[in-house]
């Protein structure tokens, strides 16, 4: 059967990833991304999750998120669509539903973070009209040469090194 012709349910919202039908799928995606160096292990088991499922109950797309109340935003933790079901609009349906949820809750923004080396995620982000607003960085302790030391007394009051 053509994946376009498979009957899907409307997006379903679960209170948390843990125990939801999307739990294993999101865990596997997090491992896949971490192996590529594109993300950290998934720890957001208490986040809400939207799913797209076939009428047989197979989760084929999922989007985990939480609210950032001080910033009046939703923050996406992880989203994915199974390999054989990509490029047929399922994640876009979840994205549209997430926008509706943000409006219903009086939130003003949706934040999503991605590794810029992940070309699929970057292309999808642009196609959905997301604006880049932040760049993260990391430092691997012990992987770089030591920085020159500065005498703390010299560093006071903006004196710095001479």
Q: Which residues contact 1 (CB under 8 A, 6 or more apart)?
A: none
Token pair 């009051």 in the structure block, residue = 157
- State if pTM tops 0.85: no
> Check: CATH 3.40.50.300 for 3-158?
no
pLDDT digits (tens, 9 = 90+) for 2-13: 555 578 888 999
pLDDT digits (tens, 9 = 90+) for 16-50: 999 999 999 999 988 888 888 776 666 788 899 99
């Amino acid at each position: 059967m053509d994946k376009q012709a498979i009957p899907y349910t409307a997006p379903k919202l679960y209170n948390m990833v843990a125990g939801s039908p999307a739990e294993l799928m999101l865990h596997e995606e997090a491992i896949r991304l971490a192996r590529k160096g594109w993300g950290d292990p998934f720890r957001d088991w208490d986040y809400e999750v939207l799913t797209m499922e076939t009428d047989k109950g197979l989760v084929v797309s999922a989007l985990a998120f939480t609210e950032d109340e001080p910033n009046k935003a939703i923050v996406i933790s992880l989203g994915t669509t199974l390999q054989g079901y990509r490029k047929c609009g399922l994640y876009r349906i979840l994205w549209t539903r997430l926008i509706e949820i943000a409006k219903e809750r009086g939130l003003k923004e949706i934040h999503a973070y991605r590794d810029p080396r992940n070309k699929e995620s970057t292309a999808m982000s642009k196609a959905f009209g997301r604006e880049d607003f932040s760049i993260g960085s990391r430092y691997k302790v012990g992987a770089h040469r030591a920085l020159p030391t500065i005498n703390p007394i010299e560093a006071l009051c903006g004196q710095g090194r001479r």
